Each structure stands twice: as structure tokens, then as C-alpha cells.
Chain A
Amino acid sequence: MNHKQLYYIISMITRSLNQMSLLKKMRVIVFFLLFFPLIVWGQGTTVSGKVVSSDKQALPGVTIVLKGTSTGTTSDIDGNFVLSGIPNDAVLIFSFVGMRTQEIAVGNREIIDVVMEEETIGLGEVVAIGYGTTKKSDLAGSVSSVSGKHFKDQPVKRIEDILQGRAPGVEVTNLSGMPGASVKVRVRGTTSINKSSEPLYIVDGIVASGLIGLNPSDIQSIEVLKDASATAIYGSRGANGVILVTTRRGTEGRMEITFETSIGVSRLMKRYDLLNAYEYATALNDIWGSSTIPDADLKAYENGTKGIDWQDIMTQTGISKDYKLSISGGNVRSRYLVSANVLDQDAITITTNLKRYSLRANIDSEVTPWLTMSAKLNAARMHVHNGSVNLMEAINYSPAMEMKNEETGVYNKDPYNAIGNNPYGTRMANYDDNYRYYLNANGTLLFKIIDGLTLSVQGGYNYAHNPSYSFTSKLVAPGAINGMRNRSQLSLFWQNTNNLTWQKTIGDHNITATAVWETSKSQSADLDVSGSNLRNEAVVGYWNIGNADTKSESNSYSDTSIASGIARVMYNFKGRYFLTGTFRADGSSKFQGNNKWGYFPSAAVAWDLAKESFMNNQDVFQQMKLRSSFGITGNQGIDAYSTLGMLSATSYGWGTSTDYVGYWGDSFATPDVRWEKTYQYDVGLDFSVLSGKMNLTFDWFRKQSKDLLFKKEVPMYNGGGSFWVNQGEVKNTGVEFSVTAYPLKSSEVIWETVFNASYVKNEVVDLAGEDFILDATYSNYGGSMQIMKPGYPLGSFYLYPWKGFDDEGANLYQKADGSLTTSPTAADQAIVGQGNPKWTFGWNNMVSWRNWSASIFINAATGFDRLNLTRYALTSMTGMYKFITLRDAYFKGWDYVENKADARYPSHTNSNTKYYGNSDMWLENASFLKLKNISIAYRIPKQVVKFADMQLSVSAQNLFTLTRYKGMDPEVYNAYSGLDMGAYPVPRTFTFDARLTF
């Protein structure tokens, strides 16, 4: 057979293949590959060529392997390669990180030039779905996926930041701009009233308590399971959505070393306009009496020799340094990835620092043809020094005061306004160190039993040790007692997952059936010692409890376990009709007797219209898939032993420093408590148009959480507190939309844009029969700030309607009957606004042109409010704050302004002025649009640098925020749903980054 004949046969086959179904195609290819060696027989030849990227840049380091052998090479600096002794029936595999792997038949060619294309979210892409993977095009449920390339140009320090604005239906809220601070993640709204609505995190198949301690650059992809069809496989823990993190693996080919270093510079974005020391002193004398600040001091405040700018003294420029190293490689049978990360981050407030060191090794090895082993090991150490700062106290502290007693070195308390300790003194004289050590080991044995049938046995072990040490000095306040504390929290978790999967194609029928038996247990042990009245405090710090005259100690242990059986069947016919059914049974130790077991079924159907024969004659839609699903998932997020009604412990000295331990019956046993259940419905549409240049996804969902794990309030006359019942219902309804498109895709320029929008309507349906429940109660700020009431969303504000001032400058509020009063009663509060956004948007743009690449990422949220209790405290004399510090509160206050119509704040001398933090005077629209990231990068090819490929980039995070919110940051809050009480703002950061690839 000559080359011409062969070419003819191949072209015949490919042509007829094009007309066949996927299944047929596969069979033909298998047949062809099996018999091809018999048909074709040729001499070994030398093949050479050049590998370039889609933008025509030479690609060095591309791995080229002769399929089925370990023979291979890599492309050189100019992208050229040469392979000799290649039979012309051979197939070459071209692979490169971040590029789509290509298999190219050599045929009779001697020169093969290859254009490597970047991996995109295409239909053929494989996504993790929990206990397995599937092609995105075969999904019947609703899953969002984010892969590494979407954030590669954003300096991510925290993994949740990757998800913010990038996955429709996932609302990520920064609760604080503090390094290492937590993030709120909600998948399709808040489902539980009293229990955690945090999603379940799974890292490489093993349940994780969070994503802290993971190196963001180790992430291959993150999948978010949203609808019940997808989440029911996680049963009792799936109701809040599931976030699957897959870490990178080594890739076949020569060793690749990447080193990346970046420096970030952060600053506070926005300050409050506060009274300066002189203005403050004048205001004090004006309102409290002219004897308050003596003349001599007043002069000193005026000429600036005295006085404190608290916002200035408490903040700094935060520098962060981030180093990443990764080494990967391997051959056909074994692959490895080793990576390391060192992060050293200073906060924008004084003395706080975060350090994270992490090391990962992922190894995959095909030991025998029927057994593949993979092992993943992650070790991390985190150290947070002085992890907190009291911003509320800082901005409420009097500017007109002396920092400390110079003779004794003792920091002064605020003589006029704030009751708490000096925030600067607290940070300078006290210190604390919080360490976290993580070791996550994860091993899988994958047995290929017979064709299509595999058994994977996976074991995971998470070790987390969290020692923390703190010291409080006697210098922190007059009369302060010094003290120390050492605490050690140990958490151990193991999980065993045995997964039997059968995958078979029979004719047009494709079946994947999975059965899983899983057990897991988590244990925690806590040891805590503290001492006060330390001798030689400067010497011993927190390291010598022997020097403490008074000591306290405690320890505790708890464990919880879950046993589960899981079954799933995924079926599709001709890639046209899809059916998925799952069932999970979970038994949890947290519940008693027959309530231990919960059962969670789900089903989904999908239909790809584009695959129908009547669609054959169009080339607009490559995919047009209708999806629908229903399922039940659960929530078991109560603490261990919380249904048992254990006694509460007390510690009292009877007036001495001796500790007498006591017990009393404070809680109630609730043996009837069981799983909370969420019923979820989803309808979705997936479009792929313009030859895959544009993919659109649309989803509608409804989540109804019933039998809520509900903390029913106990009347105070019964001692107060609460107990668990399964009552109540919350409903979330929403839509999600996302589009991925390439507005420009030429050989020179590629512009990829990803836009998504999510809408969630949350509604309380029932509250265990109660008419309403008050929430967010702060006695120092006026009482309850929020309410739960059927018909209204969770996180609804419950406030006194403020209606200006009366004739003497006292606040006027509207009573329930519409009349005005200076003294409202509890029944006059009204429901207004909500704390969780209705709409969230994300828009990511990535543009590359020759060696340049740029990205812009915008995040926005709207339809929500914040209760700005910070501004309330700055302008009101209430609770912990006896005076005012905001400039407007004085200069635009009733007492000061001449024309009373100009007054914006009430009279601070009128006894009838009642200050309520729970008044709509402090409710502000917090809708925002943030430029989360903008970056520009330039890649200097290896030809120029000689030793490596180099990419230099500069980027800015949170460059600007568009909002009408008057506080420091509309996104952050620190209590309940949207209460800003000195919440720590997200800083603006400029980052400079260099990446070398050897």
C-alpha cells in the first residue's frame, strides 16, 4: 500500500466518521487503531517540526511523545523538535501546561508543524462532579467550573477570592480585609437559619474544613455543585452547595520548573472624616462644659503639639511578599508535581502579619496495567501575629487625649468617649501568635477490574494543629492585670471512600454506574491554660505560666462520625438524552436513635436539541441542552453532643483567686432533632454557538429548606437561651446566567470575556409557628436590629423610621400609627431593606496580544443595605461611646448650626434625644461595583532571557469602588447579616510579579 492509497483510506474514513454518531465513531476508531498496524507497514523516519502557540509564538518545552512508548523529546527554545526512528504509522502526543493536548498521526509526513491551542472551557472538557468526573457536555445537573487560567494573572492569596464573581450562583463576600480573615461563601442563597450555610469543601475527594492552608497556585480547577442533582451525592452535607477543589497533577514530559515572586503594596482606601484634636476639644467644652479641657491643653491641641490622629496611627502601608515554586514532570507511567509557597503579608493596620509556608507533592503512578496509585501530600504552616485590631474603638477614641503616662509607660484610657481599652496600646503592649499546622495526606488505589469496571479505594487524613499564644500587659490600661494564655487545638479527620464504578457503552447507550461506601470521623481535642498577675512580664511574656499567680486550665474532647452509602447512575442515549439519578444514605452520630439516618435522592434529565437530526442542517448551535433536576439534600451542621443537653460549667472564686468549678443545667436535651432537608428544583439551558466561540448557560432554581434546624428561643423567664427543633422553612429562588465568549480571536489577538450574573430571592416561609423572631440584638445600640418574619428575606433589617428632628433638635421617629415621637416603643420598628445582595455580577476579561496579556476583573453586587453602626457610634452618645467623633456630627449637629434646617445630626445636649442604632437613619444602600483586579503582563521569550521564559506583570486589586455607602467598604461587615461595626475594609493593593519558567 502506498502513501497515496493510505491517504485515500484515511480521508474516506474521516469523512464517513464525520457523519457517524459519537458512539459509532469511537467504535470505528478503536477498530481502525487495532487493525491499522496490520494494514500499514513502513520504515522508521525522522520527523521534525515547529511548535507554536495560537498567536504564532514559538513554544519551547512542549513535550512530544510517541504514543504507546516512552520515546519522546521536548521542543527547543525556538519551538523546534526532531524525532528519529518514527514509524509512519505512529501517533505523536503534543502536550504543554495550559494547552490542549493533541494527538497527531505522522502518516507519511516528515515535517509536522503544530499549533498548540490554549485550553478553554470547551464542551469536551472534563469536570469533577464528586465521586467521579464527566464531560461537561454530558452534565445533566448544574455545575460551575473555574480553572487556573481564569485567575493566573490575579495575585490570589486566598482561594475563595478565585470564586468571587467567577462562578454564577456563588456569592463570595469578604467579611474583612485582614490577612487570613474568613470569607463568606453562599451557593444559591442562605438556606439555614441557625446553622451554617457554608458550602461543603472537598479537596481531591476528601472533606476539608475550609480552604485555608492551601496554596492557590496548586489549584487545577474548582467546581461548584449547585443543583440537587449534583449535590445530593453529598447528601446530608450538600444542601449549601459543594465546592470541589482539584489540585494540579504532574504532566508527562520533561521536568518543568516555575518560579514566581510577587510584591504587593496595600493601603487603606477610605477614611472617616473625624474631628481633629482641637475641634474635638472645642466640641467637648461646648457640650460638656468649658471646664472639661483646660486652656493649656486646648492651646496644645490647636497648635498641634498634642493630639492623636487615630486613623493615621493605627494604619500603615502593608507589604506582602509571595514566592511560589513548582516542579513537575513525569513519563507515561508516573507523573509528579512538587510545589512550595511562601507568603509573608503585612496588614494595613499596625503590627499584624501573616506568614504561610506550604509544600505539596502529588504523585500518580500506574503500577501495573490494572492498578494506578496516586498520593497527594500537603503540608502547611501559618502564623498570624496580632491577628486582630479594634477599628471601632480606634475611630471612636478621643483625638484630644494623651497616649500614655510617660512616667509609668501605661497607656491611657479614653477619658471622654470610648469605654474600651486604648486600641493603640492594646496593639503595642499586648501581642498574640496564632499558628496552624496542616498535614493532609490523601492516597488512592484505582483497580481496573475488568473493562469498564473500576474500584477506587481512597483514604484521607487531615491533621490540623492550632496552637495559639497571647499576652496582655499591665501597661495596656491603668490598673490592668497582666496575663498570658496558651491554647492548643488539635483536629484529626479521616475518611475512607470505596468507589465502585462501571462504565459501559452498549450501542447508543452510555452508562456510568457508581456505588460508594464511605465512612469518616473527626476528632478534636483542646487544651487551654491561662494565667494572670505575671511576675517579670517583660521577660516571661506568654512563656512562663509558673510566673503567674492565678492560673486557669481547661481541656475538652469531641468527635463526630458519619457513615454513608451512595449510588449514582448516569445514562445517556447518543449524547442526546441524559438521565442521572443519585441516592445517598447518611448516618450521623450527632443525632439520636432513629433520627441518625437520613436519605437523599435526586434525579436529573437533559436533552441536547442540537444533536437531533432536524438540527443537522444548521451550524449556529453546537449545543442546545435543556436540563431539569430535582433532589433532596440535607444539613446536619449542629455541634457534637448538642442534642444531649449537657450541663454548663462555670468558674467562680467566691471573691478569691482560687478557682471553684461549678455545673448547672443551662441547656435542654433535644433527642428528637434530626436532619434539616432542602428540596431543590432546577431548570437550565446550555447553548454553544458560533463554533464554540460563545457558550451561554442559564439556570432557574428553587430551594426549599424544610424541617430547619432551628434554634427556638427560650423565654428569658425560663433562663433564656435556645434549643434545637426541626421546624421552619426558608425558600430561595433565583436565576443564574453566564456567558463565555471570544469577541476577538485572531492569530494576533485573543480576547476572552466571561460575564455572569446571579439573582437570589430569599424568603422565610415559616418560623416554627412564631410570628416573627428578633435578631441581631445589641443592648448598647438600642436592641434588635434585624428580624426574621415569614414573607421577608433572612437578614431583613428591623428599624425605627427616623423622621428628622423636633423643635429642640431631638430625634423624631415615626410610630406604628404614623404619628411622630421622640420616644418610640418596640412595636414601632418597621421592616426595611435586606443585608444580602439580590444581584451579584462578575465580569472577567483576558486579552492577549503577542507577548502582552492583560486582564480586567469587575465584581458588583446590588439590592442590599448595610446598617452602618460605625457611623452611628461616631455620631451618637450611646452604649460604649459617651461622645461623638465624626466631624459632621458636631459641625452639622443641631446645637452648632445656626439655621436649624441645615442640621443633619440631633442635639447632643437635649435629654429627649434618643439614639437608636436600629434606626433607618443608619441604613445605607451598599450596592457596589469594584474593580477587583486589573493586570498587564509581558512575556519575554527564552530566546531573549536565555535561561528561562520570563513573565513580568503589574496589577492592582480593588483599584476603585463605585458606591454610595458612607463607610469604609460596602462589601465587608462584621455582625449578623450586614451590620458594620468597625468592619475591616479590603485594602487597595498594587502587585508586581515576575514568573520564570525553566
Chain B
Amino acid sequence: MKTTHKYTGVLLFMLLLLWMVSCNDFLTEDPKGRMATQTFFSERSDLDASLNALYFIVADAQYANHYTGTNFLAGDDITTHPASNKQSLREHDQFGVSDNNAWMPYLWEQRWKIIKAANFIINNAGRTPEASDEEIKSAIANASYWRAFAYFYLVTTWGPVPVMLEEEINYDAQLQSVEKIYELIIQDLKMAEENCPASYTKAPYARNGMNIAVSQGAVKATMAYVYMAMAGWPLNKGTEYYRLAAEKAKEVIDGVENGTYYYTLLDEYWKVYSWEFNDNNPEVLLGVYYNRDRKSNMSSACDFLQDMKQGGWGDTNGEIKFWKEFPEGPRKEATYFPKIMLSDGKLYDWWYDTDPPSRAVVAPVFMKTVEGAVRGTEFDYSNPSRISSSGEKQHQVIRLSQVYCWYAEAIGRSGQVNTKAIEVLNKVRNRADGKESNIYHSGMTPEELAEAAYNEHGWEIAGYYWGGLASRARDMFRMYRYKDHFEFRKENPLIEVAPGVFRKEGVPVTGAWDDGKMYIPYPYKDVILNPNLKQ
């Protein structure tokens, strides 16, 4: 009797346990609190969230020089340290980038991340219920802009690249021709032009009355520069495209003049990269914004030389010839350190060297990304305090003065000279000179106008590659001027930088030129995954 009870009890107990755990439910995943692709874009707020992510990725892709700009060292405005830890930078400066360059894969990967985040919006945002057509289109327009922006970077750095428009993995992606990629870029930019508002009103897309997200003016300006690039190397589409470029630039200028756009030049050049106008710069058509509380950048310490009192990384410094030819005036004084403070706390001209000469880098020093030692203060080159390598100055993608230069150059290269072009170019130069010098006049030939505008643009953005759109190197690329610079650097003559003081570049350039040097190699990591990338 007792044993029977025991069995019954045991069996009941077992059954109870089996019943407690019903298998199907038990083994089904319920990812509480997590977002899934299929169910996203089901509320209007999802549109905002997708743009938050896209702009985060854009900001991340430009936060440090190895993510956004080591390739721009090909320009004649900027160079680096001859030794130290600058191998990855130096290879670009020497036109000898290896497929194992340690930082180069980031340049590549970050652009593709932007494209991926943009594709996510372009391909899915359309299904968002509640949202108005306009809201959806504006979101897709923002994504299209950044996708075009990333492809423009890719096509001017690597040439042919795969075109990825879907969210699927493709190990066999083919390289597309430069022509094809530009087609896509223009198509995306047209979409953005049509659907990006001239002005945003609500945060975070607008702040302090300024556009933070991509606005119509920024798209038009970008189109102007893209057309110039198409007009130049390697497509060489010539006059027709310079006309298109001039048209787009003119639309921006007209918008500024008729009040559609609020953009205006700051009255003094030092304000352009100042802390004071960091968050309310009326000259900026498009910027990428940082704040050390959320997302900081790493641009503030890059340009200091290693033997300077304030500390710094010595990643990049000015090239001597470019400095030499840079017109004197407020613009030059705000572009380069007027004096540098060495570790003894004393101020020196940049060309100072010990006796016997021993400084590893004797070169002009850019002063655009610097920030005050105390957070939120203006930088002062005579202050010996050590600076923070973590920065939060915005990275300017397009400024109005650049659009002025592009307009003048495009007009000139399309064989024309007009008063508007002369007028806006003088605006740029007058501010640079700090006086109404009006050195440009309607008696210039189209060629002279174009070259003057080309040079003004170079000086406007000297040493500044953080925007990633139109650096000096990009200008030289579309004008096929790397080769001349390569030959000059090979020669490396002494340049008189002060009466009786001669200096030359520290980074040696050797070898023979070939057009392969216009581009950099595809990262090895992707080449082994997709042999189509083999060059």
C-alpha cells in the first residue's frame, strides 16, 4: 500500500514538471525591447530615429583623420612627419600607398557604412505610416545626399568601385565604371535637391536658426562641385559640365541674394574656424557637428608639431612652397600659427632650427582645428597650456566662400568671364586681405579667372580636409595636377622662407610617375573576399 502511494507521488511529480515546461513556447525567442528590421518604420518617429543613426554614422566617419582624410595628404598644401608613427599618413604624401596601409581600410569602410545606413532609409522609409509624403521624401533625400557624398569620395579616391544599393551581401560585386558611379551620384543629388528643404525649423535638423541637416543649398553646392569634378579628370567632360557647375553655384548665389538662403560670409577670416562661430556659422552650408558630451572628434591635436609646448601629435603640417605662395594677410595669419611655442616656452618662427640643425620637422603649422586648453574657449597660440586631443569643433563640409570660388572657376573654365564671378571672387579675396583690394577685374581672361578661383579656393581651405568634399587634394585631382606636384616633391628644392633662411620638405618622394598614383589601392581585406577588386 505504502509503496503504491510512493509510485503515484513520484509519477505525479514528474508529470507536473513535464507539464510546467511546454516545449514550443519555452524555446521561442522573444527579443524584448529590441528593434527588428521588419517592424521598423512603423511609426513616424522611426524616420527621425533612422536619420539620427545616419548622422551618427556620418559624424563617426569623419571624427578622426584616419577615418576621413589621410588620402588628402596628396595635396600640395599639406605633408607629415618624416619618421615617428606616421607611416600610414606618409605613404599618401609620397604617392606610394601600399595595400597594407594600416589606416587606409578605414577610409574605405567608413564611406560604405554611410552608404549602408543610407540604403536602409532609402529602401525602407517609404512604408512609414502616419508620416506625410513630404516627411518621407525629406528623410530619403537626406539619405540620398549622403550616399552620393560617399560615392563621390570613393570615386575620386579609388576610381571604379562596386555599386551597392541593396541591403544584401554580395561577394561577387563587380567594379562599376567611373562614369556609372557619377550617374548614380547625380541621380541621388537630384533627388536630394528636389526634396531637401531650404531651411529646417525644428531640432535637431536646425539649431540657432542654422541648418544642421542637409538643406537644398548644400545639395546645389555639392552638385556644382561634382559637375566640376566630372568636367575634369578622368571623365574630362569639359565645358558642358563646367556650365552645369556654374549653374548650380549660381542658384546658391541667387538664393543667398534673394533671401531664400540665409548664408552669408563672415566679415573677418579668423572667425571662419573660430570657437565663437562654431555653432552658429552663417557661412557654413553643411557641417558635421560634434560635442564632447556625446560624440567628440580627434582633430584638435593633429596639426601641432611634436616639439611644441602645447603637446600634440604632429600628424600633419604645411608644405613650404604652398605657404610661401600663400598671399599675406589676415587669412594667412588665421591659417598658420603666426609663431610656434617650443618646449622651452618661447615663441619662434616656424623655420627656426637649432644649431646644428636637429628639429625633425621644420614646417609651417596649421591653426584651424585647434581648441582652447579650457573647454569652450578660443585657442591662443601664445598660451603654453597643454591642449586636449579630444575636440568638438564642427567639421565644415561646404562654406559659402567655396561656392563663390567654384562659381568663378566654373565660369572661367567654361570660357567665360562675367561680373558676378569677378564680384564673388573679390568678396573672398577682400576678406582674406582684410581690405577692399578688389584685385580681380573683368579684364581677366577666362583662364586667368579660373586659375585665380582655383588658387583662392586652395587658400580658403588650406590644410583643411575634414569636410571630405573639396580639399586642395581633390582640386588637384580633378585638374590632374598630382603629377606636377610629385615631380616637384622629388626635386625638393630649398626654398627661401625668410631672408637668407632656406628650408625644404622633410618627407622624401621617390620613384617614377604613373597614373596609377592618381588612386590608392583597394584594401587587401576586401580584395581577398572579392577577387573582382584585384587591380
Contacts and interface: CB of A to CB of B under 8 A. Distances in A.
Interface of A: 285-294, 370, 412-413, 415-416, 419, 447, 449-450, 455, 457, 477-481, 496, 498, 517, 519, 521, 532-533, 549-550, 555-559, 561, 563, 587-590, 592, 596, 640-641, 644-666, 668-669, 713-720, 723, 770-772, 774, 777-784, 823-827, 877-883, 908-915
Contacts of B18: 517
A652 B59 contact: yes
B324 interface: no
Given A449-B7, A650-B52, A713-B529, A419 B169 contact: no
A490 to B, nearest CB: 14
Contacts of A879: 85, 102
Contacts of A655: 207, 212, 279, 289-291, 392, 394
A825 B524 CA distance: 9
Given A557-B33, A664-B120, A294 B343 contact: yes
Nearest to A659: B294
Nearest to B166: A718
Contacts of A723: 169
Interface string B38-78: 00100000101111111111010000001000000000000
B109 A716 contact: yes
Contacts of B84: 877, 882-883
A920 to B, nearest CB: 15
A780 B7 CA distance: 69
Given A447-B6, A824-B100, A882-B306, A563 B27 contact: yes
B170 interface: yes
A479 B30 CA distance: 44
Nearest to A596: B27
Interface stretch (B240-248, B249-257, B380-388): B380-388
Contact of A644 (B29, B116, B173): B29
Given A555-B33, A715-B173, A449 B10 contact: yes
Contacts of A288: 306-307, 358-360
B374 interface: yes
Contacts of A665: 37, 40, 116, 120, 124, 167
B31 A457 contact: no
B344 interface: yes
B360 A289 contact: yes
B501 interface: no
A300 to B, nearest CB: 14
Contacts of B7: 449
Given A289-B359, A655-B279, A662 B52 contact: yes
Given A481-B390, A662-B56, A719-B112, 19 more contacts: A291-B307, A291-B342, A291-B352, A294-B343, A455-B14, A478-B311, A556-B34, A645-B37, A646-B35, A648-B53, A663-B46, A663-B49, A664-B54, A716-B112, A825-B98, A882-B84, A882-B85, A908-B83, A909-B83
B421 interface: no
B198 interface: no
A663 B40 contact: yes
A556 B99 contact: no
Contacts of B34: 556, 641, 646-647
B234 interface: no
Contacts of B291: 653, 655-657
A823 B293 CA distance: 41
B90 interface: yes
B388 A477 contact: yes
Contacts of A825: 98-100
Contact of A496 (B17, B49, B306, B360): B17
Interface in B20-35: 21, 23, 26-35
Contact of B98 (A653, A659, A826): A826
Given A478-B373, A661-B49, A826-B524, A556 B33 contact: yes
A655 B290 CA distance: 4
Given A449-B10, A561-B27, A723-B169, A660 B204 contact: yes
A289 B388 contact: no
B314 A882 contact: yes
A783 B53 contact: no
Contacts of B106: 779
B55 A663 contact: no
Contact of A654 (B204, B388, B530): B204
Nearest to A716: B109
Contact of A661 (B52, B164, B508, B525): B52
A589 B28 contact: yes
B113 interface: yes
Interface string B486-504: 0000000000000000000
Interface of B: 3, 6-7, 10, 13-14, 17-18, 21, 23, 26-37, 40, 46, 48-57, 59, 66, 82-85, 87-88, 90, 96, 98-100, 102-103, 105-106, 108-109, 112-113, 115-117, 120, 124, 161-162, 164, 167-171, 173, 203-204, 207, 212, 279, 289-295, 306-307, 311, 313-314, 342-344, 352-354, 358-360, 373-375, 385-390, 392, 394, 506-508, 523-526, 528-530
Nearest to B96: A823
B293 A653 contact: yes
Contact of B204 (A477, A557, A658, A664): A658
Nearest to A669: B37
Contact of A881 (B13, B85, B169, B314): B85
Given A658-B204, A716-B526, A291 B359 contact: yes
A281 to B, nearest CB: 11
Contacts of A718: 112, 116, 164, 168-170
A416 B306 contact: yes
Contacts of B279: 655
Contacts of B105: 716, 779
Nearest to A292: B307
Contacts of A559: 30
A480 B98 contact: no
A660 B59 CA distance: 13
A663 B50 contact: yes
A659 B294 CA distance: 7
A41 B131 CA distance: 99
Contacts of A771: 528
Residue in B171, B313, B353 whose Cβ sees the most chain A Cβ within 10 Å: B171
Contact of A878 (B17, B87, B164): B87
A783 to B, nearest CB: 5
B31 A644 contact: yes
A641 B85 CA distance: 41
A434 B406 CA distance: 58
3 closest A-B pairs by CB? A655-B289, A479-B388, A662-B53
A416 B28 CA distance: 56
Residue in B53, B88, B394 whose Cβ sees the most chain A Cβ within 10 Å: B53
A348 to B, nearest CB: 30
Nearest to A295: B344
7 contacts: A291-B352, A457-B13, A478-B386, A517-B14, A587-B27, A663-B46, A665-B167
Contacts of B525: 713, 716, 774, 777, 784
A717 B528 contact: no
A557 B32 contact: yes
Contacts of A717: 108, 112, 161-162, 164, 173, 526, 530
A479 B99 contact: no
Contacts of A877: 83-85
A915 B359 contact: no
A781 B170 CA distance: 30
A646 B293 contact: no
Given A664-B54, A825-B99, A772 B528 contact: yes
Given A416-B306, A649-B35, A291 B385 contact: no
Contacts of A455: 10, 14
B295 A653 contact: yes
Contact of A640 (B21, B31, B120, B358): B31
A652 B59 CA distance: 9
Residue in B27, B37, B528 whose Cβ sees the most chain A Cβ within 10 Å: B27
